[in-house]
């Protein structure tokens, strides 16, 4: 009996090690963070939870960032976007997006995976003018969540499928950044914007001078972020632009500043910034909503965009590429596995919550409804995507 218990304990420990190791760790942490936030927002701690993030801070050094929520969404998330920008540049110049043949399928799938969810959202939300600003909420994929779920499946999924998911998510992130910059920009303050451009030019000049120390880049990037914060363009865009100015080229010593920065920031992103953002933004109050609340136009449109639109757009693009010979499919992956991957792309947690807050800044109730739609659509996509990939036969 004791030996059997020991074997059971060993199996549980092995399962936990697999769940919390490698790529799965970030996804598991995000799942736990989202559950904790929802529980906190629907418990006796709800008032303390909302006060923690939304009550004014005493003595904030930047008046525009008057709450902890602002510091997380406009400050820490700029670091998240900076890391995303480093990854995008690396992939564009030397990775899976560096050649036209490699770019074709991920770019087509990502574009369809952003356009179709937006169309589904608009079709479901109807002609309500106060809801139309949310069209981009279901267009984004959460790379940490999706890759984490994929990692839980172990070797049941071919490596080419994981690589394809990463490249689609990278193109998706680039599209989301462009959407934020173009469609969710407030009134422009030209002087601040010109100052941002000047600091960006300074970053580019540092690269041309082959500066390898990170401190000058970081100082100019922080100055550009501060100016962007006051310019009307969302401050997180500064993170991506600054990342694009970091040189990737390997120097004579074999050192690359971009790779050093990316490797240093990825753990902070995965284990601090994104979970903290998730905890601050996923806490939706379910009191009085029930099933009828989920069927309200905004949550239903977002959930349908993520669950229906994402899989229809991405899987449809994959089938179209195969039929027309436009691009080669990932090696060793069956059609059923590709459908499961398209389902996982419907997990829109981090970026969707972020865009939801930008879409309805003056309507807290709509932001809460958007959170409900994001959580419902992401959960349905994760569960069905996991089930399909778990039971899909491996390609011959």
* Residue 3, domain member (yes or no): no
Contact 226, 64 (CB under 8 A): no
Task: For residues 391 and 22, give the distance between their C-alpha atoms in angstroms, rounded to a whole number.
Answer: 23
Task: For residues 374 and 53, give the distance between their C-alpha atoms in angstroms, rounded to a whole number.
Answer: 20
Between the two ends of the chain, the Cα-to-Cα distance in Å is: 42
Task: For residues 38 and 35, give the distance between their C-alpha atoms in angstroms, rounded to a whole number.
Answer: 5
* Residue 8, domain member (yes or no): no
Cross-strand pairs, 56: 67
* Residue 74, domain member (yes or no): yes
Q: What is the pLDDT of residues 336-356, one digit of tens each?
A: 999 999 999 999 888 899 999
Q: What is the pLDDT of residues 146-197, one digit of tens each?
A: 877 887 887 788 888 888 888 888 888 888 888 988 888 877 888 999 999 9
* Residue 57, domain member (yes or no): no
Task: For residues 216 and 246, give the distance between their C-alpha atoms in angstroms, rounded to a whole number.
Answer: 11
CA atoms within 13 A on the CB side of 271: 11
Q: How many domains does the chain have?
A: 1
> Quick one: the chain helix, strand, coil %, rounded to 5?
75, 0, 25
Cross-strand pairs, 67: 56
* Residue 1, domain member (yes or no): no
What CATH number has the domain bearing residue 343? 1.20.1530.10
Which single residue is written with the structure tokens 């303390």? 48
Task: From residue 134, give the alpha-carbon distance in Å to each of 114, 121, 175, 240.
Answer: 13, 8, 16, 22
Checking if the pLDDT of 28 tops 50, the result is: yes
* Residue 52, domain member (yes or no): no
pLDDT band for 71, please (50, 70, 90 cuts).
very high
* Residue 41, domain member (yes or no): no
In which domain, by residue range, is 182 found? Answer: 66-391
pTM of the model: 0.82
Contact 96, 166 (CB under 8 A): yes
Q: Comparing 66-80, 169-183, 191-205, 210-224, which segment has the lowest mean pLDDT?
A: 169-183
* Residue 60, domain member (yes or no): no
Q: What is the pLDDT of residue 13?
A: 43
């Amino acid at each position: 009996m004791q030996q059997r218990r020991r074997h059971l304990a060993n199996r549980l420990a092995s399962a936990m090690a697999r769940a919390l190791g490698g790529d799965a760790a970030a996804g598991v942490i995000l799942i736990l963070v989202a559950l904790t936030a929802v529980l906190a927002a629907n418990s006796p701690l709800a008032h303390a939870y909302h006060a923690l993030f939304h009550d004014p801070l005493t003595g904030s050094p930047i008046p525009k960032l008057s709450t902890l929520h602002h510091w997380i969404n406009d400050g820490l998330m700029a670091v998240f976007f900076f890391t995303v920008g480093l990854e995008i540049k690396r992939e564009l110049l030397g990775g899976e997006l560096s050649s036209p043949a490699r770019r074709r399928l991920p770019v087509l799938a990502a574009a369809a995976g952003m356009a179709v969810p937006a169309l589904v959202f608009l079709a479901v939300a109807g002609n309500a003018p106060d809801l139309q600003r949310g069209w981009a909420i279901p267009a984004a994929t959460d790379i940490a969540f999706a890759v984490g779920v994929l990692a839980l499946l172990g070797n049941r999924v071919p490596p080419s499928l994981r690589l394809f998911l990463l490249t689609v998510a990278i193109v998706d992130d680039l599209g989301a950044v462009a959407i934020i910059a173009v469609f969710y920009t407030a009134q422009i303050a030209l002087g601040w914007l010109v100052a941002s451009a000047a600091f960006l030019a300074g970053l580019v000049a540092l690269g041309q001078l082959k500066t390898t120390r990170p401190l000058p880049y970081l100082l100019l990037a922080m100055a550009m972020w501060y100016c962007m914060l006051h310019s009307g363009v969302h401050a997180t865009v500064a993170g991506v632009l600054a990342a694009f100015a970091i040189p990737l080229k390997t120097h004579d010593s074999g050192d690359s500043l971009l790779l050093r920065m990316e490797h240093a920031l990825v753990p902070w992103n995965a284990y601090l910034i994104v979970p903290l953002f998730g905890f601050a933004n996923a806490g939706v109050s379910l009191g009085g909503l029930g099933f009828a609340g989920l069927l309200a136009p905004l949550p239903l449109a977002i959930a349908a965009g993520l669950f229906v639109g994402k899989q229809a757009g991405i899987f449809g693009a994959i089938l179209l590429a195969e039929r027309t010979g436009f691009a080669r499919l990932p090696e060793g992956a069956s059609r059923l596995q590709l459908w499961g991957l398209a389902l996982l792309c419907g997990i829109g947690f981090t970026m969707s919550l972020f865009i939801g807050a930008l879409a309805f800044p003056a309507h807290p109730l709509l932001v809460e409804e958007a959170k409900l739609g994001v959580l419902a659509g992401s959960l349905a996509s994760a569960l069905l995507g996991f089930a399909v990939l778990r039971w899909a036969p491996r390609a011959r």
